[in-house]
Amino acid sequence: MIILDTNVIAAAMTPEKYPIVAAWLLTQPTVYTTSVTVMETLNGIYALDTGKKRAALDIAADAVFAPLQAAGRVLTFDYTAAFYYATLMVKRPKPTAGEVLDAQIAAIALAHDATVATQNVKDFAGKGVKLLDPSTGTHHG
């Protein structure tokens, strides 16, 4: 099982900017994402001023997320993920917002024994999750 991190979702939304990642996505028969990634992506879009760019990104996000949601491939932060999150963050008394989001995604991946596809491998280092950088094809963990 491969879970797409937020930056891979962003690449799917703007394939002309990320042709290598977009090409990799086309070779994947089944991918998942997380409710955390949906929230993080939409929050970024809704923070933009209303206009053409925001509208285009909103449409692109819906084009990526709607099929995943319809297929039941948006994984949620549930009881098992909460357990993994607590074990990951116990020694991080004051995490940044980004660390919290990445740890939540990692916890969901651990709960499902899944690999996280991300271009930001360093953000998940030391969390015990299997990683794949689709821009290089490199596996970690």
Q: What is the pLDDT along the chain (141 residues), one digit of tens a residue?
A: 999 999 999 999 999 999 999 999 999 999 999 999 999 999 999 999 999 999 999 999 999 999 999 999 999 999 999 999 999 998 877 889 999 999 999 999 999 999 999 999 999 988 999 999 999 999 987
At residue 91, the pLDDT reads: 82
Residues in the chain: 141
- Which region holds residue 126: left if phi is over 0, alpha if psi is between -120 and 50, else beta? left
Question: What is the chain's alpha carbon radius of gyration, rounded to the nearest angstrom?
Answer: 15
Instruction: Please say whether the beta carbons of 32 and 75 come within 8 A.
Output: yes
CATH number of 2-140: 3.40.50.1010
Domain boundaries, the chain: 2-140
At residue 103, the pLDDT reads: 96
Single-letter amino acid code for the residue at 104: Q
Annotated binding site for Mg(2+): 5, 102
Quick one: angle between helices 6-13 and 52-70, nearest 10?
110
Annotated binding site: 5, 102
At residue 93, the pLDDT reads: 77
